[in-house]
Amino acid sequence: MRCFSCDSFSIEPICKSCVKDFLTPHIITREIDGVEVISFFDYFLINEYIKSKYSASGYRIYKFFGKKFFNPFLKEYIKNLSIQRVYLIGVDGSLNRGYSNVALLLRYGSLGIKNLKPLYNALRAKRKVQYAGKPLEFRLKNPREFVYKGPKNIEAILVDDTITTGTTLKEAIAILKENSVNIHFALTLASTQDGIDY
């Protein structure tokens, strides 16, 4: 295999050298409707990896991010809880290029964590609106109209790949709260500065 970034030979989709040089997490926090949103990176610094979801190579990249960043973070968080079960809920894990990037974050983020259970296809959008590159006004006029099909009265962590303006997460949080889902926090790979969509 070759490294996604530098094209050198690598067992992982991103080589150790590129991880060291470009993928040191810098935690960014924001708040959406009373829910803390934790992101590992500034979107601008890792946008080439985020955009890999539009190609077949994204499968390996998102699997890598789930194992490398989500899993250790979630393992550390869960071990300090006395709650028997926490669910990971992905924001609209729709298939794209034969896989769901959010489902990969759920699966590999929860790998080996006994009290953490991924809920696949529980939070789905009725409207498949593409927000990439669109202004806030467009996003507000074109909601995704989420439907939640998972269990109620549960403890959960919400997962998405990116937060830009926050409209998607805001809508997701609202529907989960309507269904008595207690959201500990939302976790994303990347956040844009001040809600700017690059």
pLDDT of amino acid 198: 44
What's the pLDDT at 131?
65
Q: pLDDT value at position 132?
A: 66
pLDDT confidence of residue 96: 58
Assess if CATH 3.40.50.2020 describes domain 24-195: yes
Q: Which helix (H) or strand (E) holds 198?
A: none
The residues near 76 (Cβ < 8 Å, ≥ 6 apart) are none
Q: Please list the ranges in the chain whose pLDDT falls under 70.
A: 93-98, 129, 131-136, 140, 193-198
pLDDT for the residue numbered 95: 56
**SS3 call for 22:** helix
This prediction has a pTM of: 0.89
The domains of the chain are located at 24-195
Q: Residue ranges of the alpha helices (H) in the chain?
A: 16-22, 43-50, 58-65, 71-79, 101-109, 136-141, 167-178
**What is the number of alpha carbons within 13 Å of residue 110 lying toward its C-beta?**
23
For residue 45, the tally of other CB atoms under 10 A from its CB is: 13
